[in-house]
Structure 1
Amino acid sequence: MIDLYYWPTPNGHKITLFLEEAGLDYAIRPVNIGKGEQFAPEFLAISPNNKMPAIVDHAPADGGAPQSVFESGAILLYLAEKTGRFLPIEPRKRIETLEWLFWQMAGLGPMTGQYGHFNVYAPEKIPYAIERYTQEANRLLRVLDTRLQGRDFIAGSDYSIADMAAYPWIGVYDKAPIELAPYPEVRRWHATIAARPATQRAYAKAKEVGPDAGKPLSEEEKKVLFGRK
C-alpha cells in the first residue's frame, strides 16, 4: 500500500497518472493546500518543503521501514524503479527519459507556473512579468513540439515518466489559456495521453478529492498559498 499525499494540481496529477497506469494499491490522503494543510507538522515530517505531492510506501523494495518520498520527479523515478515500468532499462534510453523528466521539473513546470501566477493570481498586472513568462512558456512548448516530431512520446515509442511529468502542465490555466495551435505535435501527443483509460481514472480522482479545485481562490486561500511566511 502506498499513501499518496495529494491535491488536484498538475504536480499531484503526475503521481495519480503513474499509480493508475501501474495498477498499484494506493490510498489518497488529501492535503488541502488552500487551507494550509501542507504546513501541518505531520506533513512536514515527510515533505519538509511544505509542498505536495508526497508518498509513503509501506512495502518498499528493501523490505524495511516505510519509505517516504517528496518532490514529484523523485516520486516518479522511485515508482518507476520500484515497478520496473515507464523507465527504460537500456542505459541510453534511460538517460534520455531522465533528461526530459528533469527538463519538465526545471523548466516546463516552474515557468508555466509563473506564467499562471502573473496572468491569473497576481494582485496587480505586471507587464514585464507577464511578457517574460509568456515568452518562456511558449519557448518551452516549441522545444516540446520539436522533440515530438517523429515520436509517439517524449522519449520515443513508449509512454514514460517523462510524459507523465509534462502532460499535466499543458493547458493548465482556463483563465489565461496559451494558444496551442502553433504546436501540432504537442496537441497530438496531449490528445493521445488524454484518451488513455488510466489518465481518465487519474483525473476522475481529482474531481472526487477536490471538486472545487480550479475555481477562483478566496482572499484567504491566496494568503495561504502566496503570502505565508
Structure 2
Amino acid sequence: MTAGIDTPDRRGRTGLDRQGRDLTGNPRVRIRDVEVLSCDWYVLRRTTFDFRHSDGHWSREQRETYDRGDGATILLYDSDRGTVLLTRQFRLPAYVNGHPDGLLLEAAAGLLDGDTPEDAIRREAEEETGQVVGAPEHVFDVYMSPGSVTERLHFFAAPYRPSRSAATQRGVAAEGEDITVVELPFPEALALIRSGGIADAKTIMLLQWAALDGPFGPDRRPLGNAPCSR
C-alpha cells in the first residue's frame, strides 16, 4: 500500500497517480504511464507518453512534473500617492541558487488551497499586508514554469489605503511566515527591477503591467512623489 495512491497521504489525498492519464485534448500526445515519485506536501510525478513529431514519427518521452497547486498574486497600488505595497520574505530556493540573502521583494501571493482565485488573493493580501481587498482587477493568468511545474498563477491588482497603524511585520506564524511589508514609490520599484533589487518574476510582470496598461500607464495621471515607509 502506497501513501497518496492506495492510502491517504499527509494531506488526505489518494489516486495521485491518476492525474493526467485521461488527457485527450492533443491527438499528438498519448499518455502511457504516471508514477508518483514524491507526495510529501506537493507532488512530484514522472509521466511516460508517446509524442508525434511534426514530421509524423512517434517517440517515447518521459517528463517529471512538480504539482504544488495553482496560485494567485496581486499588485496593491495607490495611484494618488504613486506607490505600491510589496512584501519581503526569505526564499530558500533563491538563497541556494545565488541570491545573496534569500530575502526577496515580492507582490503578495499564495496558493488557492481550494478557494477561487479571487477569494484566495483577498485572503493572502490580508494575511501578508494587512490590506482588505474588495473586488480585485483580474490582469492575466500565466504558467510560470511550464517546462517542469504545473502551477498556473492568477494575477490581480487592486488599490490600497495607507494606514499609519498598519503592522510592518505580517504572515501566518503557524506556517513559518515572517513577512515585512514594504511601501515603495512606483518609479523606485521599476528602478529595482533594472538593478536586480527585485528579482521575482511575478512581481516584475505586475510592475511592468502597471507601467504599460495599469494604474501608472502613460494615459494615467502623473505619479506622486510621496516618501516611502519601510
Q: TM-score, normalised by structure 2?
A: 0.23
Of Structure 1 and Structure 2, which has the larger fraction of its residues in helix?
Answer: 1
Q: TM-score, normalised by structure 1?
A: 0.23
Larger Rg: 2
Higher relative contact order (CA 8 A, sep 6+): 1
